[in-house]
Amino acid sequence: MNRLHVFVAFGFLAALGACREAEHTQADQREALDDTRNDPIAYASTGFSLAPSEIPASKRDAAIARAQGHIKKNKDKIPNDADHLFEVSDLIVDRSGEEHVRFDRRYKGLRVFGGDLVVHSKADGSFGSESKAYGKTIALDINRPISPDQALANARNAWKGASIQNTRSELLVYARESNDPKLAYEVVIEGSKANEEPSELHAMIDARTGALLNQWEGLQTITGTGKGYYSGTVSIDTILVSGKYQLKDATRGNQATFNMANKTSGSGTLFTDADNIWGNSLLSDTSTLGVDAQYGAAKTWDFYLSKFGRKGLRNDGVGASSRVHYGRSYNNAFWSDSCFCMTYGDGDGKTFSPFVAIDVAGHEMSHGLTAVTAKLVYSGESGGLNEANSDILGTMVEYYANLANDVPDYQIGEKLYKSGTKALRYMYNPSLDGASASCYSANVGSLDVHYSSGVANHFFYLLAEGTNGTNMPVSPTCNSSTLVGIGRDAATAIWYRALTVYMTSSTNYAGARVATLKAAADLYTATSPQYNAVAAAWTAVSVN
Ligand SMILES: [Zn+2]
């Protein structure tokens, strides 16, 4: 009956920790989960097989020796002689006592491509069966192949990429399907395609004739599962390289996340994983914060691409990297133009939690946008506009991500406070933080840029949401006016165009008013409600 099959599949997925409905896109898997929802099953807690830590070394060695013995005794099923060497690559022991030992094979010292097999022993240790990739006898002369250079030249004909960074080759035995085994070179060409996606061509070249026997792309983009600290369970795009997953996103300009491991210098270590399930939503797993950073970078990329057709912050298809676990108890996050990367501290654990929240990610990466567009100098009024731009677009990234675990709002860094009752900044009423300016005054440029930003944050909130938006916090104006918002999309489009088309390094608040009015006129005409709303919102924060 189909139902039992479904049970086993569910138990297996649960054991891998992968059984959350949202992660499965295939209709049949969803059906399977629905089918079992009312029948909790205990497989998940125990597993069908022993965990590696439950297999003592003696048991492991005995199982391998048993399987090696079965190979020698069953030459009719697994053709082999003294020229064959079988190397263990994995071992699974079922709770029933059955053993499954996985081997790779060498022939006269050469790796046998397709030589992998699994030997299954019964619970009493006797031979059960074998699973094998290739079943023919291998008897080959491995001498006098064509040269590696010739093999590489032939492989290059199959390369479709734009630039080559590295090449390597290995002489091996190619044993696939029903073909007779062949002496061959596996040539690997690493580089990138015209669209800058990385590529790793594997070409199998016949070492006698030079013919192309097979080819494939070795670099696979895969959707993994991340369990972030703030983001919860999310999909993240990763790549699989030589059997290991990397926290690197080939679909978004190779954005990658690195672990600084509490250091404050160097570029850290790229996060890697064996099963493509990253983090556990807790700080006990160092990958957890990597998930949030990588997810934040992905959402920021998608926001700019979907809203403005911008491919990466520099619009050049190159992603920004992230570094997490910077220093010890570091209470901040920062963007650096020189490494084109974001860096996040863990927070002190007393006042602050880790700084990897989505609005912070959007904020930091938007500094990268300013750096290649308006280049607003980071002091005086232009510095306040620079900071405001990051708060504005970071918040729009937060709305774009629309996480259930981090409901979007116009507070900045509200997830960072352990108390859960504070935020770094409040766009609808900036002076709530006790330091930011809600209204313009002549000395606003003398404030720290994180406080002079308040005027523009306030302007943007009033423009998008108005003074009394539905289910939104009230935003008091500086001239007691009452405003109706034009919506986030229109406000964002106007702000983005002003930043990328009209603002320059020296733009001040008066200049920001001019720039946003020009942008509104471009997008909606100078007699549009949107244009009038821009003017009214600036006036409401005393920028005339
Ligand atoms: Zn900033």
Domains, the chain: 2-46 (no CATH), 52-132 (3.10.450), 148-218 (3.10.450.40), 224-372 (3.10.170.10), 375-544 (1.10.390.10)
Residue pair 384/361 in contact (Cβ under 8 Å)? The answer is no
Q: What is the pLDDT of residues 85-123, one digit of tens each?
A: 999 878 888 888 899 898 999 999 999 998 988 899 999
Q: What angle do CA 380, 381, 384 make, to 5 degrees?
A: 95
Distance 457 CA to ligand 1 centre (A): 13
Burial of residue 422, with CB atoms counted within 10 A of its CB: 0-12 exposed, 13-18 middle, 19 or more buried = middle
Between the CA of 390 and the centroid of ligand 1 the distance, in Å, is 6
Residue 190 CB contacts under 8 Å (≥ 6 apart), including other chains: 164, 165, 166, 167, 198, 199, 200
Q: Which of 70, 363, 367, 450 is catalytic?
A: 450
**Phi and psi for 166 in degrees, rounded to 5?**
-160, 150
> Among this protein's residues, is 100 annotated catalytic?
no
The total of other beta-carbon atoms located within 10 Å of residue 187's CB is 25
Ligand 1 center to 394 CA (angstroms): 10
Could you tell me which of 353, 284, 296 has the C-alpha nearest to residue 322?
296
pTM over 0.85? The answer is: no
Q: What is the pLDDT of residue 93?
A: 85
**Residue 230: CB partners within 8 Å, gap ≥ 6?**
292, 356, 357, 358, 403, 405, 406, 415
Quote the ligand 1 centre to 161 CA distance (angstroms). Answer: 38
Q: What is the DSSP letter of 498?
A: I
Task: Assess contact for 346 and 288: CB atoms under 8 A.
Answer: no
Catalytic residue among 99, 186, 196, 364: 364
* Residues 221-249, mean pLDDT to the nearest whole number: 90
Q: The tokens of 147 are what?
A: 């040269």
Cα(288)–Cα(271) distance, integer angstroms: 10
CA of 29 to the centre of ligand 1 (A): 43
Say how far apart CA 36 and CA 46 lie, in whole Å: 18
The alpha carbon of 544 and the centre of ligand 1 are apart by a number of angstroms equal to 26
Amino acid residing at 123:
A
Q: What is the DSSP letter of 417?
A: B
pLDDT at 428 over 90: yes
The verdict on whether 364 is a catalytic residue reads: yes
DSSP state of 318: P
pLDDT tens for each residue of 394-406 = 999 999 999 999 9
Strand partners, 132: 117
CA of 435 to the centre of ligand 1 (A): 16
Mean pLDDT comparison of 5-19, 21-35, 40-54, highest-scoring range:
40-54
